[in-house]
A and B are shown apart, each in its own frame.
Chain A
Amino acid sequence: MDLVQIFVDESFEHLQALEEALLELEDSPGNAELINTAFRAMHTIKGSAGMVGFDHVSYFTHHLETFFDRVRNGEFALTAAMSSLILECRDHIKSLIEQQSPPELMVQSEALLARLHQLAPVTQSAPATAPAKSTVSEADSLAGYWRIEMTPHTTTFTEGFDVLPVIRELQGLGESLVSYRWHAPDTPFNPLSCMLHFTLLLSCNVPRSSIDEAFMFVEGDWQIQIEKISVLEDARLGDLLVENGVVSTEQMEMMLDSKPRTGEVLRDKGIATDHQINQALQQQEFIRKQTQSQDAPQQTLKVPASKLDSLMNLVGELVIVQSAISQHAVETNDDKLKTIAEELAMLTAGVRDHTFDIRMLPIGSTFGRFRRLIRDLSVDLKKEVRLHTFGAETEMDKMVLERIGDPLVHLLRNSLDHGIEMPEVRAEKGKPREGSITLGAVHEDGQIKIVIKDDGGGLNTDRIRQKAIERGLINEHSQLNDDHIHQLIFEPGFSTAEKVSDVSGRGVGMDVVKTSIESLQGTIHISSHAGQGTQINIYLPLTLAIIDGLMVKVGDEHFILPLSAVEECVESPREYHRQGPRLIKHRGERISAARLREAFSITGEGPAIEQTIVTRIADERFGITVDEVVGQHQTVIKNLGKMYRQVRGLLGATILGNGNVALILDVADFYEQCKYQLAQSTLGANVNVKPH
């Protein structure tokens, strides 16, 4: 990858960070950390743009950098108008980089800068008030460390207590740095008194409760102060010396007037000893390390995606070869080969898992984009909406993440457009004027669950039902409960919006969303309560390329069902020759079931004892009847040839160890097919489930 490409990629990341910081600043105005993020983003782009010859970008970002520096120094506060303008500038920078600064854009730069200078107050010689010491509340920030100050009681030692166990326990909690000083240096030394004061810096991922627990027996006797410090920028040596009580603020300010290096000056003037300065230097080092470890996720090695993809393919091939060897080892009953095959299986699994892990990205990286979307749309629609997110750290496969973006945009738009009511309407209903949309992700049962929830008006069940009848999706006599009716909005060509709006288009959408999710082997489910809101749950597999499957056999054909969908297998005598999907009793519940033999028109008769695999799709159970269950099988999905593209109910195929091909069943899609057939058959018709 060449330097320019690296610069472009990196700049986009920084622009993203800038945007996120700006949007978050709307929620927490004046948050020093966020302002600093924005500043750093501009600062970095400015620097690297200069290096790769994007002089105009460098020039433009320089002004923004200065702007944020002034905000950071408390010269003026960031207003909403400024935020909007900066967002414009952000988009402008993106265009500048993408289009390599054509003259017309450069003209635009000047216009933007002129507006920026208008909004930002004229520079004053010096800020009137000293910049407030930046403190960020615990909840605001993950970055930071604990600063624990403790003065053991003077009688600590003579009371049979030692400071060592307590401090040892604290240090055992996480990365830490301890330093001491004499609590009251002027008091005459008494070897029996505890005359020390300790400062412990502790990594912030230690829970407060563990810290408190360490002080269990000394609370009340010791003076203890526990404070969470957010790491905003490099800790200054001077500040640390002041905090450590080595020098006073006044002394420090005096020093700062006379430029040279703080430590040296203080030492030379005899204000601080070497020991005190060294301790502060160590603290500085510790804090830097904490900051860096917070930044660590960004300091990553960049690899072109194509390299990852080919690695993935190779791993896929490796898995196939490995299972061929395992199968061969079992067939030949060669003990030595079996041992080797087992070892190979373990190693392959390791390689596979690590490769997947490399491809995993946190979903949070896309949240910023959605935040912006909601913000812009709510302005357009004159609605007041706040986007809440959770589970930003939830990781999913890169490819899944890339392909889930558009469906999510669509769903969010829908929530905003159709779900959330106008502020006045909400107020009338006794809801807060500001609507809320929640977007989040969690890992659940080996799947990823993405939730999109709004507190809007909810779905109009009657209208959907009526529409579905009009569209011929359901029969007037269909006995469907509300939940079933709600799912109808995912059917092709369904729209209930009273008028077509720019935002969510013409009701193409929900079915497209569903198709995209299904193409990712996912399922989608909507639940809604009139007047209270709507929740959409999307379940996605952790990864796409390799699945753990259950291999089954029908006649001579092998099929693989994704194991994530399988609940259990039950055995039953083939009761009667009824064709088509049927209802079976399972654990006191009636569930529909279909025979693969019929669905795929496999000739021949099934065995006397059939196996039915009970699967679960979203919240429903469905039985798939086969001849024989072969066992668990890990498999690489190969795309089906063009011929089979149109075959519904199949995900793809895989090559078995013995060279045969097995078809991988798309359980959710297969169920859809059968459900439709079943509905028809209960209405009298009796049609074979056949792929079309």
Chain B
Amino acid sequence: MSKTIMIVDDSMSMREMVALTLTDAGFSVVKANDGVDALSKLNGNRVHLIISDVNMPNMDGMTLLGKIKANPSYQFTPVLMLTTESREDLKQKGKELGAKAWMVKPFKPEMLISIVNKLI
């Protein structure tokens, strides 16, 4: 059974890029445009990993991260932040909120897969 990964990013091209990389590697993918969209699509469905951007309209990645970790259904779900932000304080905050890994865009497909494989 393939594992399901949610991608949250407001940039369609980035979303599709990540999705393509992951489906090629045999994962199932759920796509969301922003934090609000992500929460509505989660809605109790099982995902094994959430990959989220940080800067997004409606609900940003950090807020989403906080909400995911507060939800009993997803409190143990690993979250990978994939962003252009490389500020240390943001990374630190992400880590405190429970983000498992921080990856800076642009990314190499094989790098992403290697990280995902370390997480799930």
A and B in direct contact, judged by CB atoms within 8 A = yes
Residues of A in contact with B (beta carbons under 8 Å apart): 157-162, 165-166, 169, 214, 216-217
- Given the known A-B contacts A158-B76, A160-B78, A160-B79, are A217 and B101 also in contact in the complex, defined by CB atoms under 8 Å? yes
**Closest beta carbon of chain B to A61's beta carbon, Å:** 54
What 10 A-B pairs are tightest by C-beta distance, nearest first? A160-B78, A160-B76, A165-B118, A217-B101, A160-B77, A160-B100, A217-B118, A158-B76, A165-B117, A165-B120
CB distance from B25 to the nearest CB of A (A): 14
Measured CB to CB, the nearest residue on chain A to B116 is A165
A-B contact count (CB 8 A): 33
Residue of A nearest to B119 (CB): A165
Q: Which of B78, B101, B117 contacts A169 (CB 8 A)?
A: B117
What are 25 A-to-B residue pairs whose CB atoms are below 8 Å?
A157-B76, A158-B75, A158-B76, A159-B76, A159-B98, A160-B77, A160-B79, A160-B98, A160-B100, A161-B78, A161-B100, A161-B119, A162-B119, A162-B120, A165-B117, A165-B118, A165-B119, A165-B120, A169-B117, A216-B115, A216-B118, A217-B100, A217-B101, A217-B115, A217-B119
A216 to B79, CA, bound (A): 15
Instruction: Kindly provide the distance from the CB of B5 to the nearest chain A CB, expressed in whole angstroms.
Output: 13
CB of A370 to closest CB in B, whole Å: 45
Residues of chain A lying within 8 A (CB to CB) of residue B115: 216-217
Contacts of A216 in B (CB 8 A): 115, 118
Contacts of B78 in A (CB 8 A): 160-161
Give the complex CA separation of A175 and B115 in angstroms. Answer: 22
Q: Provide the bound-state CA to CA distance between A159 and B97, in Å.
A: 10
What chain A residues lie within 8 Å of B101 (beta carbons)? 217
Complex Cα gap A166–B77 (Å):
16
Contacting residues, chain B, for A161 (C-beta < 8 A): 78, 100, 119
Give the CA-CA distance A574 to B78 in the complex, in Å.
77
Determine the residue in chain A with the shortest Cβ distance to B101: A217
Nearest opposing residue in chain A for B50, CB measure: A160
Q: Is the interface of A mostly helix, strand, loop or mixed?
A: loop
Q: Given known contacts A160-B75, A161-B119, A169-B118, what 8 new A-B pairs fall within 8 Å (CB)?
A: A157-B76, A158-B75, A158-B76, A159-B98, A160-B98, A161-B78, A165-B117, A216-B115
Q: How far is the CA of A108 from the CA of B79 in the complex (A)?
A: 78
Q: How far is the CA of A671 from the CA of B75 in the complex (A)?
A: 79
Q: In the bound complex, what is the Cα–Cα distance between A159 and B69 (angstroms)?
A: 9
Which residue in chain B gives the minimum CB-CB distance to A159? B98
Complex interface residues of chain B between 65 and 100 (CB less than 8 A to chain A): 75-79, 98, 100
Q: Is the CB of A166 within 8 A of B118?
A: yes
Closest residue of B by beta carbon distance from A162? B120
Partner of B118, one of A157, A158, A160, A214: A214
Query: Which residues on A sit within 8 Å (CB–CB) of B75?
Result: 158, 160
**B119 / chain A contacts, CB cutoff of 8 Å:** 161-162, 165, 217
Chain A: which residue is nearest B99 at the CB level? A160
A31 to B118: give the CA distance in the assembly, Å.
39
Q: How far, in whole Å, are A166 and B115 apart by their CA atoms in the complex?
A: 10
For A157, the closest partner residue in chain B by CB is B76
Residues in B37-88 with C-beta less than 8 Å from chain A: 75-79
Closest to A215 in B: B118
- Which residues of chain B are near A157, meaning CB under 8 Å? 76
- Chain A residue at minimum C-beta to C-beta distance from B117: A165
**C-alpha spacing A408/B66, complex, angstroms:** 72
Q: Which residues from A are CB-within-8-Å of B118? A: 165-166, 169, 214, 216-217
By a CB distance below 8 angstroms, the chain B residues around A217 are 100-101, 115, 118-119
**In the complex the two chains form, what is the Cα distance from A370 to B117 in whole Å?**
50
CA distance A162 to B79 in the complex (A): 13
Chain B residues with CB under 8 A of A214:
118
Q: Which residues of A contact B76 (CB under 8 A)?
A: 157-160
Q: State the Cβ distance, B21 to closest chain A Cβ, in Å.
A: 18
A158-B76 Cα distance, complex, nearest whole Å = 5
| Whole-angstrom distance between the Cβ of B78 and the nearest chain A Cβ | 4
How far is A273 from B108 in the complex, measured between Cα atoms in Å? Answer: 48
CB-CB under 8 A from B98, the residues of chain A are 159-160
* Complex CA distance for A160 and B73, rounded to whole angstroms: 12
Chain B residues lying within 8 Å of A160, measured Cβ to Cβ, are 75-79, 98, 100
How distant is the Cα of A216 from the Cα of B102 in the complex, in angstroms?
A: 11
Closest A residue to B78 using CB positions: A160
| Interchain nearest-CB distance for B86 vs A (Å) | 17
**B3 CB → nearest A CB, Å:** 11
Query: With A and B bound together, what is the CA distance between A162 and B117 in angstroms?
Result: 11
> Could you say which residues of chain B place their CB within 8 Å of the CB of A165?
117-120
Q: Which residue of B lies closest to A160 (CB)?
A: B78
Specify the chain A residue showing the minimal Cβ separation from B49: A160
A159–B100 CB distance below 8 A:
yes
Cα-based distance from A165 to B100 in the complex (angstroms): 14
